[in-house]
Structure 1
Amino acid sequence: MAYSVNTALSRHTAYRSVMEEALTWTIVAERLETMPRGAAYQLSKTLGMNSSYLYRKLKSGGDLSERHAQQVRAFFNETPPEPQQFGPPPTSSRNKVPVFGYAAASDGERIALNEGEVIDWIELPHGLALGPGEFFGVRPMGSSMEPRIFPGETLIVRKNYPPARDRDVVIEFTDGSGVIKTYEGQRQGHVFAKQWNEPKTLTYEATKVRALHAVAFKL
């Protein structure tokens, strides 16, 4: 019960801050954390920002312009709290793929890849040759892959298709979460990858990896 009360108070405080106080991007980020998945993407559309640019703003903690403050207050005041309001349309096609994103578990760079965690659907450019197989999109968070990949960019990924060495990959874990890294290979029961910011090699136990999905291209 104490947790529920504290959570409710935290959400109330974040809402009051957005609606009454001088706005900073830190306050906006805190408010978004109390909302359904996909809210940040919807806010970027409201503000007319590229989603990756919005993520950088949310990390900056600076003040909002008067115009952005008015748009943000209107967004939080009018946006329904139900998750399905941010969900995708119920249909799929060869030229339309589901998009996953946003943090999962305790790792702020992990992506929720479970069914039902779709945050958007994206229509691919006409004439784009995908090749055989199934595809989906991801929008990463975190800065570990910069400048190769920036937060909020959309990557189109080929499902269950291991990449070549030094190509980008979505490593899906058995808990349904995933990370975006650069693939380095597998040996002795481990999957090796690297990140770019700060540069280092990462090692994952193969028993905890469900699948490898090759990043096909970036939109």
Structure 2
Amino acid sequence: MIDSSTIAPMRTVKDIRRDNARSLATDGPAEFARAIESTTQQVNQTIGPNPTRNIGDLLARRIEAAYGKTIGWLDVDHTKPAFESEKSVDKAALIPQSESPKTDKVVAAKLTSPQRLRAALGPMNLSAETLAAVAKIGVDVSSQWLDGEGPEITLVQAVAIQNTYGVNAVWLTKGKGEAGVAVRFNDEFRPFPITNWKPIPVVGMAQLGDDGHWADLEYPVGHGDGYVDFPSRDPDAYALRCAGDSMRPRIRDGEYAIIEPGHPVEPGDDVLVRSKDGRVMIKTFLYQRAGRIHLISVNETHPPVIFEADEIDRMHFVVATARASMFRPGSAD
């Protein structure tokens, strides 16, 4: 009779995974945890002396990627003789022995880029022709890559592979980071729409020189001498036709300044200034000090302008300019 005590218990895939993972953790659980970007506690729970958790598929693939193993490596019973294990393992899915470093401690950074490509794309069973078309290389080179051999992969080639197969280009060329791509760049282009377009009434003119006396027409808000279409949230927004050259090239003669009186004014903003003596001009607000407001022109040939604060009737924020062709005659209603 056969002594049943001498028969070794059947080893499951879970047992094989655990034993093979332990064979990689030769530097201790802390180093193993660092390599697979996990914690020592989780490592002890899966491959420690008294494990309480199994190595699931996701964790298995992460371990294999960290140590440069092909997908399914953890499932192979390496304790069996070679002729037995080869019956259940597809040789084409394994990195050839000549490619594997002698030590079991194999991290992605120690592999060549063709070896990393083989580890990532091997399970896809790609043809050399397909890979060659994606990476814009010869079929002979792509065939070498699929075998884990050949020249190193350039960044341009790696990006092409990343865009098609989702393999991280940095991981592929440098062995750093994760093999998978966290963000894909082929998302549908969905720009944010520009809303709040409305007719902005043109209420007068502003002189861009320093000594002009252009008076706005004082139309009620919402009415004016024609209008300009422009997106604005300010219900009191209005437009002025500009004359002069002191703000060139920012504002050209004949263009329309879009004014938002409800917008706060900060140093460096373009502003519409209307003095109490009737002058209307557009300048850049420089600063206010000791009761005096300092304004400058973009065009340096025009000198700065200084007003006493009590000389200014209004100073409104200029949000943008519109070309003369955007003017529409008639009511803005």
Q: Per the shorter chain, which TM-score range?
A: 0.3 to 0.5
Q: Which has the higher contact order (CA 8 A, sep 6+)?
A: 1
Give the TM-score normalised by structure 2.
0.33
- Larger radius of gyration between Structure 1 and Structure 2: 2
TM-score with structure 1 length normalisation?
0.48
